[in-house]
Amino acid sequence: MKRLILLFLLSPFGLYANWTVLDRRDQPVLDGKLTASEFRVRSGGAEAEIDLVYFAAADAKLEVVANTDGKIRGLQEVIEASGGLAGINGGYFDENLDPVGLLISNDRVIHVLQRAELLSGIFYVKNRRPLLVRTTEFVGTKGIHQAIQCGPFLVDGGRTVAGLDHRRVAARTFIFSCGPSDWGFGICRSVTLKEMGDILTQATMVPAHHINRALNFDGGSSTTFYARAGGQTIFSEGRTAVSNYLIAKANHQESARFTDPSAMPMSNNSSPK
């Protein structure tokens, strides 16, 4: 019996506990419709830092901003020029800023849907309602106002998706839903995809809620987060210009939109970085 206990303690399952929140700071974002959170999580000897915003779907308007011409020089510019409250970088793109996968911005198809193992999920807005589905569940672009196809799926049915990479460590950007009414997005630093999935399912991201689905967005050097919280900003800067952004506005705001004159369906011969 003693030998069995010792073997368990020395095994990976005995060395690592669930991810738990060490400390956090929550702040209202401007009119209080959104909440911004900064916190650290720990599992065994591993730690990660997270910035995110969460909100009721009825209180926020989610908008995709295309930047295929590279004229927008960063997320902060997008937020301040469009009257946004918070935002992150969006989906994958090639070196020339051409998007990879489906991208729709304010009813305009910037890039068509692609079939690839990595591009396993689609975030989209239809009838002002945000949705997060697997690419195989997607029924078409009719009536869709905003969309970003990316991947991999991190959480499904409240559980970490099986088979996520457990080796490569990088900053991660993600979007999640706790059900139809409660949403959020953010970044997490210094984790693998497998750890990101476990963090989202095990740590309490949103008080009194459990994350049901989550999708990975473009990470690495592209990872960026910006929120206008109270009298200050929370800003984690990544690459200066990326192909597209996802921003949140208060639902009563009129859109001050960036436009991309080159918006049109593009060929689907691009591939993830």
Instruction: Identify the pLDDT of residue 251.
Output: 85
Instruction: Identify the pLDDT of residue 231.
Output: 75
Please, which pLDDT band fits residue 137 given cuts at 50, 70 and 90? Answer: very high
Q: Rounded mean pLDDT of 234-256?
A: 82
Instruction: Identify the pLDDT of residue 207.
Output: 93
Instruction: Identify the pLDDT of residue 239.
Output: 81
CB 62 within 8 A of CB 190: no
- For residue 124, the cross-strand partners are 131, 147
Q: What are the structural domain ranges in the chain?
A: 19-250
Least confident piece of the model among 10-14, 15-19, 53-57, 187-191:
10-14
- Please tell me which residue, 253 or 125, carries the higher pLDDT value: 125
CB 117 within 8 A of CB 126: no
Is residue 60 predicted with pLDDT exceeding 90?
A: yes
Nearest alpha-carbon partner for 141 in 110, 173, 183? 110
Q: In sequence order, what are the residues at sequence separation of 6 or more whose Cβ sits closer than 8 angstroms to the Cβ of residue 180?
A: 57, 129
Instruction: Identify the pLDDT of residue 257.
Output: 45
With a pLDDT cut of 70, the percent of the chain lying above it is 86
Nearest alpha-carbon partner for 244 in 131, 78, 84? 78
Nearest alpha-carbon partner for 217 in 100, 79, 136, 59? 100
Do β-strands 159-160 and 144-150 pair in parallel, antiparallel, or remain unpaired? unpaired
Is residue 139 predicted with pLDDT exceeding 50?
A: yes
CA 50 to chain centre: 12
On the 0-12 / 13-18 / 19+ scale of CB atoms within 10 A, 195 is: buried
User: Is the pTM above the cut of 0.75?
Assistant: yes
Instruction: Identify the pLDDT of residue 16.
Output: 56
Q: Rounded mean pLDDT of 151-168?
A: 97
Instruction: Identify the pLDDT of residue 237.
Output: 85
Q: Rounded mean pLDDT of 5-18?
A: 49
- Rg of the chain in Å (alpha carbons): 19
With a pLDDT cut of 90, the percent of the chain lying above it is 78
Give dist(CA 236, CA 19) in Å, integer.
Answer: 22
- HEC string for 15-64: HCCCCEEEEEEEEEECCCCEEEEEEEEEECCEEEEEEEEEEEHHHEEEEE
Q: Rounded mean pLDDT of 52-57?
A: 96
Is residue 273 predicted with pLDDT exceeding 90?
A: no
Is residue 215 predicted with pLDDT exceeding 90?
A: yes
Q: Rounded mean pLDDT of 226-248?
A: 90
- Please tell me which residue, 254 or 208, carries the higher pLDDT value: 208
Is residue 211 predicted with pLDDT exceeding 90?
A: yes
CB 99 within 8 A of CB 91: yes
